[in-house]
């Protein structure tokens, strides 16, 4: 009888079930109804540009309810909801605590608010962890036990899987790889620290560094690609100039890639991962990123460490990676307490 009951429980755990995910961002809030096998059933977005939480959260609830209705899923059928948000946050209380790109979001009880609205369990974690979990469950990191996911876009964040579990640390702040210092006498980061990885290689920081270095040089190819408007200088202008083999762009990119190699070498030395999954900018740049990275890594970590670590580009294309972040957070909490099995 016990064996039969165990089989029933096993089948119940393996049968796909719906979860609802919310990815809180500074310009938009993405909402995703997904099955536990990673299938995106329906999704939507709510504009969040310069909006206060009391203005936008009722819209988020309404959009979530619309998504459920469109898929014929009731609140009672939801197993859980998951919320991904930028840091800082109070993990234990489920509060968003004034991230720099969320104007007016000070100690917002997001977990309890959405849990009550959708009448189910709500789970909460930072956005880099959510993206890393989505990559581990459904993307390039499937099947690994020790993996690092690096989100490389506006800023730099990380989700670290160690021994088949998400690494959180004592105060749930593990994985803030964008703010490890690479140079104690270096650039000041927006976070207030000195020499952060993000201050050299984050998208916003690179654009700011280009503007500073190219001030008074309107003839520069990068400035020309921005139409002469310094405020429009961005990573796209840089990439175009690199592909055109502009001398300054190539030299600037060489410095950026040295910092990337320095940071990833340190991560490899500390965590000895079997895989590092790279997101966003790497998918666009391909060999322009990977070739100099692999050429420079031997400066910062041993050959056997490099040989043991596979590099992969995100396996989640388009919107699905971001959309699945919230859903993956819900699934991870169910996984950690034994209510869901990994899908591979």
Q: Is the pLDDT of residue 7 over 60?
A: no
CA pair distance 340, 344, nearest whole angstrom: 12
- The chain-wide mean pLDDT, for the chain, equals 92
User: What's the pLDDT band for 4 if we cut at 50, 70, 90?
Assistant: very low
Q: What is the DSSP letter of 81?
A: E
Own/partner pairs for 294-297, CB < 8 Å, 24+ apart?
296/257, 296/258, 296/260, 296/261, 297/261, 297/264, 297/265, 297/268
The runs of H, that is alpha helices, within 151-213 are 197-201, 203-213
pTM assigned to the model: 0.91
Mean pLDDT score, 128-133 = 94
Mean pLDDT score, 287-294 = 97
pLDDT at residue 88, rounded to an integer: 87
pLDDT at residue 78, rounded to an integer: 97
Contact 132, 76 (CB under 8 A): no
Rounded to the nearest 5 percent, the helix, strand and coil shares of the chain are: 45, 20, 35
CA pair distance 90, 226, nearest whole angstrom: 40
* Strand 156-162 versus strand 165-166 pairing type: antiparallel
pLDDT at residue 321, rounded to an integer: 63
pLDDT at residue 284, rounded to an integer: 84
The domains of the chain, with CATH numbers, are 16-134+319-336 (3.30.420.40), 143-313 (3.30.420.40)
The runs of H, that is alpha helices, within the chain are 2-14, 53-71, 110-118, 127-138, 197-201, 203-213, 221-225, 235-243, 247-271, 281-285, 287-296, 303-308, 320-336
User: What's the pLDDT band for 9 if we cut at 50, 70, 90?
Assistant: low
pLDDT at residue 190, rounded to an integer: 87
Q: 174-228 pLDDT, tens per residue?
A: 999 999 999 999 999 988 999 999 999 999 999 999 999 999 999 999 999 999 9
């Amino acid at each position: 009888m016990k064996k039969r009951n165990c089989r029933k429980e096993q089948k119940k755990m393996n049968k796909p079930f719906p979860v609802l995910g919310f990815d809180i961002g500074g310009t938009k809030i993405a909402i995703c109804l997904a099955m536990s096998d990673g299938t995106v059933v329906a999704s939507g977005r709510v504009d969040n540009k310069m909006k206060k939480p009391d203005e936008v959260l009722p819209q988020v609830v309404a959009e979530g309810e619309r998504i459920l209705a469109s898929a014929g899923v009731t609140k009672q059928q939801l197993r859980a909801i998951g919320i991904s948000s930028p840091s800082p946050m109070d993990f234990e209380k489920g509060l968003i605590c004034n991230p720099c790109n969320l104007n007016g979001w000070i100690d917002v009880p997001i977990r309890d608010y959405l849990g009550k609205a959708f009448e189910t369990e709500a789970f909460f974690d930072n956005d880099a962890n959510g993206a890393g979990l989505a990559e581990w469950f459904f993307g390039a990191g499937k099947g690994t036990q020790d993996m690092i996911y690096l989100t490389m876009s506006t800023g730099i964040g990380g989700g670290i899987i160690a021994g088949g579990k998400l690494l959180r640390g004592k105060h749930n702040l593990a994985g803030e790889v964008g703010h490890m210092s690479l140079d104690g006498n270096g650039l000041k980061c927006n976070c207030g620290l000195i020499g952060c990885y993000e201050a050299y290689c984050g998208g916003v920081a690179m654009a700011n560094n280009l503007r500073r270095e190219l001030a008074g040089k309107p003839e520069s190819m990068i400035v020309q690609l921005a139409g002469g408007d310094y405020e429009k200088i961005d990573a796209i202008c840089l990439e175009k100039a690199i592909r055109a083999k502009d001398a300054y762009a190539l030299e600037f990119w060489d410095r950026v890639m040295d910092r990337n190699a320095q940071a990833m070498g340190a991560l490899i030395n500390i965590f000895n991962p079997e895989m590092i999954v790279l997101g966003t900018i790497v998918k666009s740049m391909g060999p322009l990123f990977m070739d100099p990275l692999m050429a420079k890594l031997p400066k910062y970590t041993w050959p056997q460490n490099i040989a043991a670590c596979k590099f992969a580009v995100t396996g989640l294309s388009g919107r699905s990676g971001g959309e699945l972040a919230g859903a993956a957070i819900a699934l991870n909490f169910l996984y950690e307490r034994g209510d869901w099995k990994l899908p591979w």
